[in-house]
Structure 1
Amino acid sequence: MAALATSVVSFTAGAQDEDRLQKIREKGEISVAVYRDFPPYSYAGEGGRYTGVDVDIANALAQQLGVRLILNPVTAGEDSNDDLRTNIWRGPLINGSASDVMLHLGMDPEYVKRNDKADLFNAYQRETVAVIYHSDVIEKLDSPLNLSGHKVAVENDSISDYYLSGGFNGRLASAAVRKATVEDAVDAYFNNEVDAVMAPRGQLEGALFKRKQSAAELDISEFVGLFRSSWDVGMAIKAGNPQLRAALEKALATLQQSGQIDTIYQRYGVNRAEPKAAVK
């Protein structure tokens, strides 16, 4: 009986120690979570088929690993903690299971350090809050305070919304014109309903590209205030899977060295900025 108990304990410990990469190889597939309704990174295109920068990156990573991609479009939670809990280390409470990888996570250095349940790494883009504006109305934009007295479209409950609402002791709060999406904000801009749009640069460039508009007047100042206006974007896996991490690091490095990552971004009209963090 004691021998049986010892065998069971040993088997269980071995199962817990199995790296997720082994399971991915055995199944021949990798599940990757991307954000739902998040152009130009992941959104439903023609026929409802998901497309975008992150979708193409997910496909490229799967090809590098030699497995089939299972794409999981997910709805964003209240914050990154919710997203990682639901999609990476625990899974949803009702239906479904955790994904092997999740893309487009903000890589705040302190958050990465203190997160012990998910491994955030492989930064592949630097995102920056940016502004597109009518230069005949706003002559120059060397300070966000130049937006005072103007109508600035922002996506509701986004970092740009929080920035205008809380920055500079609320002096820009009245400038905010809230829209459901960045694309709606850009539509308002071209309909001359607003003087400017504030949003993450990649989303702005993607929206302009879909409209076949030039991004020549896209100001990419790293505004300072209450909120961080630039951050690295990377991926996440469940903590304790060093082999999977190493495989994904190698895959991303190969895609970057070949130029495939930049080609993917260009496909959607986005100029990829190199992350500040090392690709790890």
Structure 2
Amino acid sequence: MKKIKILSFLMAMMLALAACGSDDAANSGGDEGSGEDGGTTYTVGTDTTYPPFEFEEGGKYKGIDIDIINAIAEEEGFKIELKPMDFGGIIPAILADQLDVAIAGMSITDDRKEKVDFSDPYFDAGLTLVVSEDNNDITSVDDLEGKVVAVKNGTTGADYAEKMKEEAGIKEVRQFNDSPSMFQEVANGNADVLIEDYPVIAYAIKTSNLDLKTVGDRLNGDQYGIAVKKGENQELLEKINSGLQKIKDNGKYDEILNRYLEE
């Protein structure tokens, strides 16, 4: 009788363990980003020295890009983990599988599209020349001969300056890892002019005592996109595009822009 009871107990234990194993297998193969258990978490690279798109205030990250990716995540049922870094390191981090997504005021360019896949455009930007308030000598690219131009490393502004260096007769293109250092270089008179995305510098001039001003027409018509690793994250890219369209349709997108930019 004892043997029968022991055998019955062992069989019951084996059945219980088998059932637990089945549940674990089912849970590990759940639908990514379904939202049923809070959703998949994606690591998102961003440059938090780039207001109004991303910046730190009161120990929290905020800005147009931060609010947009959070709104998309909410709509699509996934979570994000922000990973601040220098802009120039973002695409290398995606290629090294250290990031799933990047949103950092990143212009969609042919060169970048060779390395990453972009979402649908989410913002129309454009480069502009910026000089100190008392500088009346520079009003266009035609005035850059013999001048020192400050740019941010890895940006389309840096690319533009390097491409125009010989044609415009630029004396030196000086690169910086963050926007504040670049702004200060021109404000202090150590560089003659900087090249920056118009909405970024317009916001910086409006909210800070930079003693800078924008001059001339916009140099190009950049559009910003959200990036993922090329050819390897199509499902995630579809979620991002879906969420982006949803927040445009339901008004959240306009609310975010109006929060940081004046009409």
Q: TM-score scaled by structure 1?
A: 0.63
Q: In the TM superposition, what is the alpha-carbon distance from 1:234 to its structure 2 partner?
A: 1.3
Work out which of the two has the higher radius of gyration on C-alpha atoms and give 1 or 2: 2
Matches within 5 A, 1:29-178: 29-40=40-51, 41-47=53-59, 49-77=60-88, 80=91, 82-86=92-96, 91-92=97-98, 98-99=99-100, 101-104=101-104, 105-109=106-110, 112=113, 119-133=117-131, 134=133, 137-138=136-137, 140-141=139-140, 144-155=141-152, 158-169=155-166, 171-174=168-171, 176=173, 178=175
> Within the alignment, does 1:264 sit opposite 2:261 as a pair?
no
The residue aligned with 2:9 is: none
> Within the alignment, does 1:247 sit opposite 2:239 as a pair?
yes
Identify if the C-alpha distance between structure 1 residues 137 and 177 changes in structure 2 by more than 3 Å, giving closer, same or farther. farther
Q: Give the secondary structure class of the aligned counterpart of 2:75.
A: helix
The residue aligned with 1:277 is: none
Asked whether the equivalents of residues 121 and 235 of structure 1 are also in contact (C-alpha less than 8 Å), the reply is yes
Asked whether the equivalents of residues 64 and 256 of structure 2 are also in contact (C-alpha less than 8 Å), the reply is yes
> Within the alignment, does 1:198 sit opposite 2:210 as a pair?
no
Cα RMSD after superposing both structures: 4.0
Q: Which amino acid aligns with 2:109?
A: D
Identify if the C-alpha distance between structure 1 residues 61 and 215 changes in structure 2 by more than 3 Å, giving closer, same or farther. farther
| Distance of 1:269 and 1:73 partners within structure 2 | 23
Percent sequence identity is: 17
The residue aligned with 1:231 is: 222
Identify if the C-alpha distance between structure 1 residues 209 and 266 changes in structure 2 by more than 3 Å, giving closer, same or farther. farther
Identify if the C-alpha distance between structure 1 residues 32 and 268 changes in structure 2 by more than 3 Å, giving closer, same or farther. farther
Asked whether the equivalents of residues 34 and 42 of structure 1 are also in contact (C-alpha less than 8 Å), the reply is no
Q: How many residues align?
A: 234
Q: In the TM superposition, what is the alpha-carbon distance from 1:29 to its structure 2 partner?
A: 4.5
- Stretches of structure 1 lacking an aligned partner (at least 5 in a row): 1-16, 93-97, 223-228, 272-280
Asked whether the equivalents of residues 33 and 78 of structure 2 are also in contact (C-alpha less than 8 Å), the reply is no
| Distance of 2:61 and 2:225 partners within structure 1 | 20
Q: Which amino acid aligns with 2:222?
A: W
Identify if the C-alpha distance between structure 1 residues 202 and 243 changes in structure 2 by more than 3 Å, giving closer, same or farther. same
Asked whether the equivalents of residues 39 and 206 of structure 1 are also in contact (C-alpha less than 8 Å), the reply is no
Q: TM-score scaled by structure 2?
A: 0.67
Deviates more, 1:213-222 or 1:231-240: 213-222
| Distance of 2:234 and 2:147 partners within structure 1 | 50
Asked whether the equivalents of residues 43 and 51 of structure 1 are also in contact (C-alpha less than 8 Å), the reply is yes
Deviates more, 1:249-258 or 1:239-248: 239-248
Q: Give the secondary structure class of the aligned counterpart of 2:48.
A: coil
Q: In the TM superposition, what is the alpha-carbon distance from 1:252 to its structure 2 partner?
A: 0.9
The residue aligned with 2:20 is: none
> Within the alignment, does 1:210 sit opposite 2:207 as a pair?
yes
